[in-house]
Structure 1
Amino acid sequence: MPDQIPEDGLDLARLEMLRDLDPGDTTYLDRAIANFVTTAQTAGGTVRDAAQRGDHEELRAVTHKMVGNSLNLGVNYVGAAARRLELLASEGSTEGALPLIDRLDAALARGVEDLLAFQASYQPPRS
């Protein structure tokens, strides 16, 4: 995995590709977005807890998974924020993680908002 991850907005081409995996059926993407939203609600706390305990191995494992999941969904800025923490933890440290976790929390909140807005753009309005 490259050390540099684009930090711009959503990768709309990636999201559209996932949406169109099965033309007319957005089940896969809808499930992936729902998983991201659910995970985002607890991920920051899990990462913060690992950092506060000084558990660099858990911090690395959790953030590594976040990088992959975020990039799979085209949420580049979450992937970049998680990657910074993963690299820190890979060095065997959690020192300096808390400001990075604050950035990750903000990126996760933005990711949830952006993904739900993208999802709303292709779903019919509810009556």
Structure 2
Amino acid sequence: MVLAENGEEAVSRVTHQYAELDAVLMDCQMPIMDGYDATRAIRAMEGSGSRLPIIALTAAAVTGERERCIAAGMDDFLTKPVDVAALRATMRRWVPAGEGADYPTGADRADGAAPGVDSDVLDSARLDELLDLDPGDPTLLLRFIGRFGSNARHTLEEMRCAHQDGTAYELGRLAHALKGSAANLGAHRLADRCREIELLGDEGGVPGQAVIDRLAVEVDTAATALEAFAAELAAAEG
């Protein structure tokens, strides 16, 4: 499995490791270059006889989003938070049997259950699903968690600026992005808080300062809980 931090890096990795890859899971909302432009760049460099399956991952489950992904050159479409069963079925559809991973189920995992978590902050069932992505090897999940805290705090600072400027649309857009990241890692309380701000932004409203202050607390609480979970998981593996 190969990971990229942004769309530009994704294009570079695909270009240099094309023959080693079975499919690409393309996050549509990436920095530097988004998933749509990254997909167009990959399609442009492919030869006439080759086509690497590219599956969209997007938090924007809105009318026309699937069509936008297909128009950019993607082959399929999954929404965040990603459902592991849906991901497994999609990969089976695009990667021929015998290639790549065998997409095991939770029943195949010898001892992959998530360590104890604070259920008020994190959804242990969701973390179990993510451990199912690569049974026996939590490296991918640990990397996701490792990025979450800094990314969430960066988004929070952008939200503070949007709140100060009174730009409801931008605040809602940022809340939507943070909601997707939080929900994907089972940080359900933070995701719920972001959804409230997102819905208000969609209506052209800007929340009071107290709401942003509570959001900051939720970001720190979720990041701390995930980091503690990751430490316990890494210790159990070590």
Contact map agreement 1:63 1:83 (CA 8 A) in 2: yes
Partners of 1:41 and 1:99 in 2: how far apart?
Answer: 17
Instruction: Give the distance between the partners of 1:26 and 1:91, measured in 2 at CA.
Output: 40
Number of paired residues?
120
Per the alignment, residue 72 of structure 1 pairs with 184
Task: Give unpaired runs (5+ residues) of structure 2.
Answer: 1-60, 62-118
| Matched residue type, 1:79 | A
Aligned counterpart, 1:57: 169
Return the structure number with greater relative CO, CA threshold 8 A, min gap 6.
1
Q: Distance in 1 between matches of 2:216 and 2:157?
A: 9
Q: In the alignment, which residue of structure 2 is the partner of 1:111?
A: 222
The answer on whether the counterparts of 2:121 and 2:221 sit within 8 Å (CA) in structure 1 is no
- TM-score of the aligned structures, taking structure 2 as reference length: 0.47
Is the radius of gyration larger for structure 1 or structure 2?
2
| Structure 1: runs of 5+ lacking an equivalent | 2-6
Compute the displacement of 1:41 (Å). 2.4
Structure having the higher helix fraction is: 1
Aligned equivalent of 1:35, options 147, 160, 166: 147
With normalisation by structure 1, the TM-score equals 0.85
In percent, how many aligned pairs have the same letter?
37
Q: Point out the structure with the larger strand share.
A: 2
CA contact (8 A) 1:63 1:85 kept: yes
Partner of 1:84: 196
Which AA in structure 2 matches 1:17?
E
Q: Does 1:102 align with 2:213?
A: yes
Q: Which runs of 4+ in 1 moved over 3 A?
A: none
